[in-house]
Amino acid sequence: MLNHDSNNRNIVFLSTSLPRECGIATFTQDLLDQFTGLQGFNTPRVIAMNNNETYQYSDQVMREINQDKLSDYIEAADELNKSDAHLLVIQHEFGIYGGESGEYLLSLIERLELPYVAIFHTVLREPTAKQHLIISRIAKGSVKVVTMAQSTLHDLTSIYNIEDSKIACIHHGVPYVKTAPRAELKVQYGFGERKILSTFGFLSPGKGIEYAIQAMRGVVKRHPDALYIIWGKTHPVVKLETGEVYRQKLTDLVSEFGLSDNVLFVDKLLTQEEVIESLVMSDIYLTPYLGKDQAVSGTLAYGVGYGRVIVSTPYRYAEEMLAEGRGLLAKFRDSASLEDCILELLDDPAKVEAMEKRTRELGQTMMWNEVAKSYAAIFQEKISQSKLADRSVI
């Protein structure tokens, strides 16, 4: 059913999968791509979680699950049990599974006979009773739980009662893309020598972009060459529910404040190369997000990975990643605070240079080729332990 060098390990990921527009699909693809070149593993396969859309998947997808169809979960578990898969890797985010808070996933894991590792993309400090039950049950049945932030370790043990020894903390991976230097990219994109501030990712109201736009009013008085670029299209779920209401609100703000020369929207789904180029050409990367409990942010991880100076609101992941002088934290929903942080950096190039150096040191440990080795070690260890446990004593 899978690939074949019979001495190698067969890994299956349960996840959304490209071309579905989803951060977890990108995460899974980046990790899977690394395993294609790692010794001791056959090319991993994917069981793709579907919403109500139809996708043209590559042949790495071995089967699909309609997230709202309970029988698909049971059939997938049965297929895995009959396969030569050694380990299932579950990417967990509440919204990609069906039932209340994604409870249909429990039907799959309760029927599953092979070991699984759970990667938690969201760790809630105040879960509902159902969310608490789901995370606890997933963790209990797993051979290992992975989180991407040190700040969530305590929550996993104290709130969800997961044993310390079962939890691993592994950085969110960042892809390595070779690009031209900052100055060359600015010229290539037509921005000359302007000071570039940027945010990338799916646009949605939780991103707090309106506060950054308001902050630009004061920034451009001192730095008229400053340009804030908002890269990315509206989140598919947001677009389905409310259309382009949020984007329109933001563009109206730009007009109202007379910032059309200082704020630019790039309304498209970026390629990986475009994402990295957008970061490399940036002088400051902004994440003015509104949710204080956000434990992981892929976009912030990318910013750190490429050694950018970051101005962020103090959500959990930002507090952790920007510690030790790797960036500046502004207050939530406070454009004046964002403005102060931005000006502090634009007024002091030496401070920016020192911060970039500190951030780059951490960022180098977050590249996918390094991160994948940590996952590979866990997968090998857990498969070996499982094989030993399966041997009967004569």
* Number of structural domains in the chain: 2
Residue 72 resides in a domain = yes
Euclidean distance between the first and final Cα of the chain, in Å?
A: 31
In this prediction the pTM is 0.90
Residue 202 and residue 129 in one domain = no
Residue 152 and residue 269 in one domain = no
Residue 244 and residue 329 in one domain = yes
Residue 129 and residue 142 in one domain = yes
DSSP secondary structure code for residue 330 in this structure: P
Instruction: Name the H helices within 142-297.
Output: 153-158, 182-188, 209-222, 236-242, 245-256, 272-280
Residue 357 and residue 378 in one domain = no
- The pLDDT assigned to 393 comes to 42
Binning pLDDT at 50, 70 and 90, where does residue 6 land? confident
Residue 275 and residue 371 in one domain = no
Peptide bond into 19 cis (omega under 30): yes
Residue-range definition of the domain harbouring residue 210? 182-366
- The pLDDT assigned to 237 comes to 87
Residue 189 and residue 129 in one domain = no
| Residue among 42, 34, 36 at smallest CA distance from 7 | 42
Q: What is the CA radius of gyration of the chain?
A: 22
What is the overall mean pLDDT for the chain?
94
Residue 328 resides in a domain = yes
Residue 6 resides in a domain = no
Task: Render pLDDT for 9-55 as a digit per residue (tens, 0 to 9).
Answer: 999 999 999 999 999 999 999 999 999 889 999 999 999 999 988 99
Residue 197 and residue 304 in one domain = yes
Residue 245 resides in a domain = yes
Binning pLDDT at 50, 70 and 90, where does residue 5 land? low
Binning pLDDT at 50, 70 and 90, where does residue 293 land? confident
Residue 55 resides in a domain = yes
- The pLDDT assigned to 4 comes to 60
Q: Compare 387 and 231 and report the one with higher pLDDT.
A: 231
Residue 247 and residue 312 in one domain = yes
Task: Render pLDDT for 242-273 as a digit per residue (tens, 0 to 9).
Answer: 999 999 999 999 999 999 999 999 999 899 99
Paired strand residues for 285: 198, 310
Calpha distance 122→319 (Å, rounded)? 16
Strand 116-120 to 263-266 pairing: unpaired
Q: CATH number for the domain including 153?
A: 3.40.50.2000
Asked whether the predicted pLDDT for residue 394 surpasses 50, the reply is: no
Calpha distance 27→41 (Å, rounded)? 19
Binning pLDDT at 50, 70 and 90, where does residue 295 land? confident
| Residue among 154, 151, 150 at smallest CA distance from 164 | 154
Binning pLDDT at 50, 70 and 90, where does residue 391 land? very low
Residue 128 and residue 101 in one domain = yes
Residue 4 resides in a domain = no
Residue 97 and residue 215 in one domain = no
Q: Is 12 helix (H, G, I), strand (E, B) or coil?
A: strand
Task: Render pLDDT for 315-358 as a digit per residue (tens, 0 to 9).
Answer: 999 999 999 999 999 999 999 999 999 999 999 999 999 999 99
Binning pLDDT at 50, 70 and 90, where does residue 392 land? very low
Residue 32 and residue 134 in one domain = yes
| Phi, psi for residue 86 in degrees, rounded to 5 | -95, -25
- The pLDDT assigned to 36 comes to 87
Contacts 24+ apart (CB under 8 A), 25-34: 26/298, 27/91, 27/121, 27/172, 27/173, 27/298, 28/91, 30/173, 30/175, 30/368, 31/173, 31/368, 31/371, 31/372, 31/375, 32/60, 33/368, 34/173, 34/368, 34/369, 34/371, 34/372
Residue 27 resides in a domain = yes
H or E element in which residue 100 lies: none
Percent of the chain past pLDDT 90, that is, above it, reads 91
Binning pLDDT at 50, 70 and 90, where does residue 294 land? confident
Residue 109 resides in a domain = yes
Calpha distance 272→26 (Å, rounded)? 9
Q: Tally DSSP H helices, then E strands, for the chain.
A: 15, 13
Task: Render pLDDT for 216-236 as a digit per residue (tens, 0 to 9).
Answer: 999 999 999 999 999 999 998
Q: Do 34 and 40 touch, CB atoms closer than 8 A?
A: no
